[in-house]
Copies of this chain bind each other. A is one copy, B any other.
Amino acid sequence: MNGAEQLLETLVDSGVEICFANPGTSEMQLVSAIGNHDGMRAVLCLFEGVVAGAADGYGRMSDKPALTLLHVGSGFSNSMANQHNARRAHTPLVNVVGDHATWHLQYDAPLTSDVPGHAALCSAWVAVSESADDLALCGAQAVQAALQGWGQIATLVAPANHAWEDSTKPAPALDVAEMAMLSPETITAIAKLLANGKSTALFLGGRALREESLEAAGRIARASGAQLLCETFPARIQRGAGRVAVNRLPYFAEQAAEVLGNFEQLVLVGAAAPVSFFAYPGKQSWLAAEGCEVITLAEVHQDTCTALCSLAEQLNATEPGETAKPTPQQPPPVGELTPLAIAQSLAQLMPDNAIISDEAATCGLPMFPATVDAPPHEWMTITGGAIGQGLPLSLGAALACPRQKVIALQADGSAMYTVQALWSMARENTDVTVVIMNNRSYAILNIELARVGAGQPTAKTLSMLDLSRPDINWVEIAHGMGVAATRATSAEAFHQQFSDAMAGSGPRLIEAMVVQ
């Protein structure tokens, strides 16, 4: 058995079931090992940004690490923007990056670069194997590291010779570390704060946005009068009719500060304290009100569900919280194809347990509140702000959850970043409906231009933020990559096309010519 085969045995043994790959010469033994092993599904992606984004989507929906197979520093760098989003989402993820054979590095061949240096920029754990025998052990450690807390990025750099040399050392799966303990004193202290009469919000993030945690949070809110807020860009939130609803903190800092101005106490549950996404001239980055006390119930990587349940118990909060009611039957939207009309179709037509990948940027802002009472569903957002997440994320989510409909709400500008994901959707016949919000601009930047006080824009300025000349035809691009596609220019047309997509299965793209 060579090092690559031994590594693969260990990864499969450790519960890794799927590999998103864009390999090169340095990874050929790993490709071959995967090709010979029934325990690992292989999904080819035509760009590394798709690889990482798909692994993130798979990890967010399954809470298990996918494997990525990447080629040296350049291949890894292509994946880094979506690694960044995965890092911010606390997604478990194992990267295996092939590097040159150990003796080859000294020659500085054209593709040589500092692979561990690349990996360190976005990984919580990095190792370079020391021998063929060491490779599988590193693999076991990588999975262990990836599963620590809620999930982390673990990157194993595998010199090509360690993959092809003989390995005689099997490496069994390693135990995963327990989650960091919660302090009972903290729970008691926060229970007291919730009874002190001050206006309080629970600020929820990460795993605290799963149904069971939200149910406990709902009881706490009911018993204490605290309000429920969630971070602006959650990795995954379980919401919709019958579930406890939370208000999402607005993206724009002044709106967020206005919401937070209502609270004298903020209890963090699996979220960092709210800060502005960008800095703006003369504005504060810290968003909590002046004098607001910010206390942590559970850190990121702690067991938020137990924390919330314990707090509810301490408060004797047994009465269920307020849940979103199912939407009463509405007529289908008509007229101009606005983001709100799309959201109405979405709310009316999405099946139970749909998975939404939201990279709709400005178009997405009204969609989240408009779907609060839609059938129960999952909503994933762009955790790290690195655009090009949406299409790959929906690919990975669909592979993790083949029995759930995936809907990608996708801005045009960011769709272009990782457009290659469409091809893998077609190859894997994933049940993803992509809705491209075609407004022919980086609309968010037109807004930000004014907000940062950059002065009156000239035509040349605006040309750097606009996606026209030529207009992009998403139907043709989708067809070119093997995905069925249609265009909608009215709310009625969109409703019909989206209804067809929900009734059918397999990949499908709707180019929504939105009016904002």
Contacts and interface: CB of A to CB of B under 8 A. Distances in A.
Nearest to A159: B279
A318 interface: no
A121 B114 contact: yes
A459 B160 CA distance: 23
B46 A78 contact: no
A223 interface: no
A160 B454 CA distance: 11
A31 interface: yes
A145 B326 CA distance: 63
Q: What is the copy number of this chain in the assembly?
A: 2
Given A25-B445, A109-B275, A471-B482, A84 B80 contact: no
A385 B458 contact: no
A430 B473 CA distance: 20
Contacts of A474: 480
A108 interface: yes
Interface in A359-413: 383-388, 413
A78 B49 contact: yes
Contact of A464 (B44, B386, B460, B479): B44
B36 A458 contact: yes
A454 B445 CA distance: 48
Interface residues of A, number: 100
A189 interface: no
Nearest to A77: B80
Contact of A107 (B24, B110, B275, B466): B275
A448 B111 contact: no
A479 B476 contact: yes
B279 A472 contact: no
A26 interface: yes
A110 B463 contact: no
Interface stretch (A147-155, A207-215, A261-269, A414-422): A414-422
B285 A104 contact: yes
With a 10 A CB-CB cut-off, give which of A21, A25, A164, A426 has the most chain B CB atoms: A25
B114 A416 contact: no
Contact of A36 (B88, B385, B461): B461
Contacts of A23: 445, 464-465
A121 B119 CA distance: 11
B386 A74 contact: yes
Contact of A477 (B107, B462, B481): B481
A203 interface: no
Contact of A457 (B32, B101, B453, B464): B32
Contacts of A463: 35, 42, 44
A460 B383 contact: no
A28 interface: yes
Given A35-B461, A121-B113, A472-B423, A285 B107 contact: yes
Contacts of A107: 275-276, 285-286
B46 A109 contact: no
Contacts of A471: 482
Nearest to A108: B272
Contacts of A285: 101, 103-104, 107, 109
Contacts of A466: 44
A211 to B, nearest CB: 24
Contacts of A78: 49, 78, 80-81, 388, 417
The 5 closest A-B pairs by CB, nearest first: A470-B482, A35-B461, A74-B386, A476-B480, A101-B279
21 contacts: A25-B448, A28-B445, A28-B452, A32-B454, A32-B455, A35-B460, A35-B464, A36-B458, A73-B84, A75-B81, A77-B84, A100-B279, A104-B276, A109-B275, A110-B277, A416-B420, A417-B420, A419-B420, A423-B470, A472-B481, A476-B476
Given A78-B80, A164-B453, A473-B482, 7 more contacts: A23-B464, A35-B462, A75-B81, A100-B278, A104-B278, A109-B278, A473-B479
